[in-house]
Chains A and B, each alone.
Chain A
Amino acid sequence: GQQVMQIPQYQHVQEGEDFTTYCNSSTTLSNIQWYKQRPGGHPVFLIQLVKSGEVKKQKRLTFQFGEAKKNSSLHITATQTTDVGTYFCAATMDSNYQLIWGAGTKLIIKP
């Protein structure tokens, strides 16, 4: 079936280092959403990207949608302990109402 591949599965960083997660698809995406799930919590919507080459920023978070609309990334600058959690991308590929979810990237801050 249709899939969105998300890498890496885990990323260990020192507080203050940057973090990046990537989502890739073999088919063109209609749009892509990003969610954050804190440990023990539920996913919370961060942003939606719709246009080819779109870049959006939220404070230390930068979201990009590829020119071909087949990939997307989330970059966090200077991570803080409040950034800990799992970041998911979720995309639609056609007019189907289903979101297809990536497996998530878990951000872990090294003690």
Chain B
Amino acid sequence: DGGITQSPKYLFRKEGQNVTLSCEQNLNHDAMYWYRQDPGQGLRLIYYSQIVNDFQKGDIAEGYSVSREKKESFPLTVTSAQKNPTAFYLCASSIRTSGTSYNEQFFGPGTRLTVL
């Protein structure tokens, strides 16, 4: 059964602690993305990766870090430098885009992070 998995679904952390959110896909997609969604708002791009061992900052990368050591995996670390980390985090993947050809993104179920 192909798809994207994110774990855990709910995560609670104390202020000042780093936390890593997992994202795994078995769709054989080259591109992966991390978004943040706050209540009543759209999605804001944190980081994206078009290929293994390469990733780019999105609009709100400050306080976050990622790695892309394997095609299937794109973990996101929320560091203590992120001032307001409580949010819903969504991971997505797509076939690698080229030029103006753009492909649909497939999303995981998300992780709700609450920092106490």
- Report the nearest B residue to A43, measured CB to CB: B107
Chain A residues, Cβ within 8 Å of B104: 33, 45, 48
How many residues of A are in contact with the other chain, CB < 8 A?
25
- CB distance B107 to A44 under 8 Å? yes
- CB distance A43 to B97 under 8 Å? no
- CB distance B109 to A92 under 8 Å? no
Identify which of B45, B59, B97, B109 contacts A42 (C-beta below 8 A).
B109
Chain A residues, Cβ within 8 Å of B102: 30-31, 33, 48, 92, 99
- CB distance B43 to A45 under 8 Å? no
How many residues of B are in contact with the other chain, CB < 8 A?
24
Q: Does A58 sit within 8 A of B, measured CB to CB?
A: no
Chain A residues, Cβ within 8 Å of B50: 97
Q: Given A30-B102, A31-B100, A97 and B42 touching (CB < 8 A)?
A: no
Q: Given A30-B102, A95-B100, A103-B42, A43 and B59 touching (CB < 8 A)?
A: no
Q: Does B108 sit within 8 A of A, measured CB to CB?
A: yes
A27 to chain B, nearest CB (A): 14
Q: Does B2 sit within 8 A of A, measured CB to CB?
A: no
Please name 14 pairs of A and B residues whose Cβ atoms are closer than 8 Å in the assembled complex, sorted by A: A33-B102, A33-B104, A42-B109, A43-B105, A44-B107, A90-B43, A97-B56, A97-B97, A98-B48, A98-B58, A99-B105, A101-B43, A101-B44, A103-B41
The 9 residue pairs across chains A and B that have the minimum distance between CB atoms: A45-B104, A101-B42, A42-B107, A103-B42, A101-B43, A30-B100, A43-B107, A42-B110, A97-B97
